[in-house]
Structure formats: C-alpha cells, structure tokens
Structure 1
C-alpha cells in the first residue's frame, strides 16, 4: 500500500508539472529598430495628403524649441497599412491612423517589437480622426520621446567614461560616453566635451546657493544672469574678452521638469559668444537638490555650424537624464 501511495503522489506531481508547462508562454518579440527620433506613420496615402496628414505634421513634425533653425520633433516615414508587415512593424515609435466604424485614441506598448510604443487613432470621419489626434498628440509625443531617450541611453552606455570628475566634485554619477573628455575642472565647475565633425558637444555642471531664483517674477531674467556670469568666468570664446552668454534677442524657454527624482526647471535656448559670431543651442536643468542645500546646474550645449543639431541635443538630454544622486563625493 505504501508503494501504491508513493506512486500516486509521483503521478500527481507529474500531472501538476505538466499542467504548469502547458500554460501560455511569453510571446517572443524581436528588438525594435529605427533611427533616433524616427516615427513610422501607418495610414492611407490619401489621408496623409489631406487635412489629417496636415494635422499629424502639425503635431509630430513641429519644430523643436530652442534650436537655431527649424528641425522637426520626429523624422516621419509614412506607409500605407498594406505595407505595414514584416520588418516595418519593428519600428520603435509607430502612429497608426485609420478610418473605422468606431472612434478611439490610445497608446499600446510592445505590440510587434520591444521596446515599442504604438499610438492608435481611429474614427468614422476625418473630423473624428482630427479630434483623436488632438486629444492624443501630447501623450503620444511624451511616450515616443521616453522610448527614444531610453534607446539613446542604451546605445551610449555600451562604452562609458571612467572619469570621476562629476562624482568627486558634486557627489553625482552621470553616464557619459567614453569619447567625452574633461576639458576644464575647477572647484564647483566641470566641463566635458567631445569633438564632432564640424564642432563640439559639451556638458558642464556647477552649483548655486539653495535660495537662488527665489523671486518668480524675475526667474527667467535670473537664469540669464546666472548663465552669463558662468560663461564669462569659465567658458571663453576664441579671443580675449569673448565668452559664452545667452542670446540677447530671444528669452529662453522654461518648463517644469523632474530629473534624477528631483524637481527641476528645464531651460532651452540659444547661446552666443559675446563679441564674436558663434552660436548654438543649449539645454539647462536647474535641479532643486534640497538634501545638499543647493541648486545643481547641468547643461548641454552644441557648436555645429551649418549642421542639424536636433539629435546632438537629444543625446545631451539623454546623458543629463542619467543623473544619479546616490553617489557621494570622495574625500
């Protein structure tokens, strides 16, 4: 009897294990593809040529703020639905627009590949599609940007700089590609840069007192004064008495942000060299680092005359967003 009981237990365990194995298995998804900031738009070509296509371009090909020349948020490729098969479905960011008996607008994750965001807009009439695009555009752009930032970070984190200047000076870790080198380091200031075909990409960091920018009514003006004073002290131009400053003709754009788990202000605009014809875009994060009683400033700026600068600035943004405050200064 004891042997029979043991046999029954063994059979029962085998049955349970078999049931466990026969459950639904995770679906394999190929890695997503595409250039940084590329968007696959899947829709009928006639729709693309009309008002619906115009509205898509209005939202998703709008100029990036803070660049000297107009460059679109996304580089768009449009294909009809019947061509959307095989490798084309692996695009990282996809907008699917279709006339349908039901109206809907939503965002799906990892449908055909991984990582992937697919924004879907359907409607009976063109007006339904236009309304769906208007309601979904800001959320879709944010979702696409997040997946693109993650992809940019994935690409450059394969080979990172081992320099500890940011850690030693500010107690932070920043994932900076290995080709960047420290060009200047002083107390409370670090500057790393990289040569690009026709110029440079740059990252600088410094701190300000905790109570800086206490007056909301002069916030933008105070940001400009801060940048100009730092530029005059640390970022010289090609000749004596020339230095980096904020472009005088236009005030920078300022947005609320969150970076490294902390509240921040995001500032985008154009820098120029005082007294010399050089200029380019900058992106600044003013971070409320309350634990350390300071404002931490991270900035990326590019000099690339006659070149498109959107992807350069996007890479700098991706680098700055890797900030980790869990590291402490050494010594």
Structure 2
C-alpha cells in the first residue's frame, strides 16, 4: 500500500510540474545585427508623415562621428508579414492605428532578450506626436538593449588582465582579442586590430584634485586627455626629421574644429562626465572619433578616466564606437 501511495505522489508531483511548464511561454533567442531596428507599420503610413517622423528619430545622425551615420539602421515590415522569424529581432517599433493613444515598452514579447515599443493612436497626428515627444525614451530604450547585447557577446571570450584590478581596483569587461599596448601603475592602453585600422581603450587614474567641478570642467577634461595623448599616443612621424632637419612632434589631441559634446551621467552608481568628439594627430593625417567618461570616485578620492577611440578610415564607425561604450559601461569599482 505504501508503494502505491509513493508512486501516486510522484505522479501528482510530475503532473503539476508539467502543467506549470506548459503554461510558461517558450521564447526563442532574439536575433538581428547590432543597431538594427524592425519597424512594423503599413506601407502607406511608412511612405507618409508617420514614416518620415520615425526616420527622423531613429536615423538621426550620431554626434561625434567624422561622417554622418544613422543612430539605427531601419528595416520596415508591413504587419501582414510580421510573423515567424521576422518577429525575432532584438528591437522592434510597432505602430498600431485606430487604438487609444499611448506608448508601451514591452519586454521579451516574441523572443528574448527583446524590447518592443508599441505606439498607438486613433489619428496619424496622435502617433506622430507620441513618437516626437518620446524621442529620447525610444532611442535610450533601444540603445541600452544594444549595449547589453554587445556586452553579452563580449562576455563569451573575456580578457585575462588581472593587473587592472590589482593596480586600479576596478573590473571592466572586454574581449580577449584586445592586446596591451602600454601598462604602468595607473595607466592601461589596450588595442584591437579591426578591418581597416584599430580600436583603442585607455583606462587611467587621476588624483582627486586634478579636476574641479566648475564652469571650466569640460575644458579641464579636454586638457587632461590631450596631455595623456601627448604622453602615450604618438604619431608615425614623431621624432623624425622634416625637410629642414628639425624633429617632428606628432601626438594625439582633440580636434579644435569640431566642438566636443559634454554632459553628465551616472556610471557604476557614480557621477561621471561624458565627452564625445574627434581626435587627430598633430603634423599627421590620422584621426577619428572618441568617447571619454571621467568618473568621480569619492570613496577612493580619485577620478577614473576611461576612453575609447577609433582609427578606421573609409569605414563606418558606429558599431565600433558602440562596442567601446559597452565596454566602458561595464566598469565596476571596489
């Protein structure tokens, strides 16, 4: 009798388990290229003012690149064909007409990880107004999803540089394909070869008194990065002689002709300054975009600077810069 009760209990247990799992939604892994957004909207709307508004928001040129590149690459999909594998893109913007006006951010609707933003309205103008008013929210939602995805991809082959934590008391995630170009007690420079050039990552520590919060903070940060460029990033012609027999000085500086973007943000729950712009080499023709975060570490009475920059002529740089931003935003301090 005890055996019968035992097996009956087991049968009940597994039945409940099967019932529970059958109610759970099974989702396939999301897919899609980095920075590619699927826009689900009727062809008629896409070719009209709604489509123009979507393109204005999602394909806006990224600030800080030497050539115009869109924030996202857009793939328009009519609702009638939005099914099957087409629904698995990581980021989706969906337009629904003849419904109450509203904007919803949904997670893992058709795949995972995935962000789906649904914009609805009874009139075209309602939809246009919602997209325009929520421009920052839409871009931030999709961009954060892409940064998280790039971090996930890079975590599959992590670097082994334990000296970063030993010397700077922080961890930062980037793939093992990056090599050390320079290392000191308070400065690291890593480099990765890319299609037609190279990608760079610098991590360094500054004393707390090296930077003051006032109206000149942006100028101070530029001076600091220029001094680091002069000390560590030399041009190909540096110390060679010109036609007059005089030595040439060539090093990385911030390009004066392009005003850098400067703002404040939070990184690893700490206040940080974000600076984006273009760099160049003095007395040379090399240059490209950079992104710099200067983090206020009050606990350790210091500033931590992390910068990524690219040299890749004649090639689009948007996705390379997103990788560097994803690396920087993975930083964790003790």
Output the TM-score relative to the length of structure 2: 0.91
Pair 1:299-2:307 in alignment: yes
Pair 1:141-2:165 in alignment: no
Distance 2:113 2:94 in 1: 17
Pair 1:174-2:172 in alignment: yes
Task: Say whether the 8 Å CA contact 1:220–1:251 is kept in structure 2.
Answer: no
How many corresponding residue pairs? 323
Question: Partner of 1:225: helix, strand, or coil?
Answer: helix
Question: Where do 1:1-331 residues align within 5 Å?
Answer: 18=15, 22-23=19-20, 25-240=23-238, 241-326=249-334
Which segment is superposed worse, 15-24 or 125-134? Answer: 15-24
Offset, 1:7:
8.9
Offset, 1:239:
1.5
1:30-50 C-alpha deviation (Å, 9 max, x unpaired): 000000011000001111111
Match of 1:329 in 2: none
Which segment is superposed worse, 234-243 or 31-40? Answer: 234-243
Supply the RMSD in Å over aligned alpha carbons.
2.1
1:8-65 C-alpha deviation (Å, 9 max, x unpaired): 9997997687556534632100000000011000001111111111111111111111
Distance 1:31 1:8 in 2: 42
Match of 2:241 in 1: none
Distance 2:218 2:196 in 1: 31
Which segment is superposed worse, 300-309 or 271-280? Answer: 271-280
1:290-322 C-alpha deviation (Å, 9 max, x unpaired): 111100000000000111000001111111112
Distance 2:4 2:28 in 1: 44
Distance 2:190 2:19 in 1: 54
Question: Partner of 2:331: helix, strand, or coil?
Answer: coil
Offset, 1:168:
2.8
Distance 2:31 2:136 in 1: 23
Which segment is superposed worse, 301-310 or 204-213? Answer: 204-213
Q: Which runs of 4+ in 1 moved over 2 A?
A: 6-25
Offset, 1:84:
0.4
Offset, 1:114:
0.3
Distance 1:247 1:147 in 2: 31
Structure 2 residues not aligned, in runs of 5+: 239-248
Task: Say whether the 8 Å CA contact 1:106–1:136 is kept in structure 2.
Answer: no
Offset, 1:226:
0.8
Offset, 1:82:
0.4
Cα distance, 1:164–1:20 mapped onto 2, change above 3 Å: closer
Offset, 1:156:
1.5
Which segment is superposed worse, 33-42 or 261-270? Answer: 261-270
Distance 1:60 1:216 in 2: 34
Question: Partner of 1:39: helix, strand, or coil?
Answer: strand
Offset, 1:213:
3.1
Distance 1:44 1:216 in 2: 50
Distance 1:178 1:276 in 2: 30
Distance 1:27 1:215 in 2: 50
Distance 1:209 1:81 in 2: 56
Distance 1:177 1:16 in 2: 44
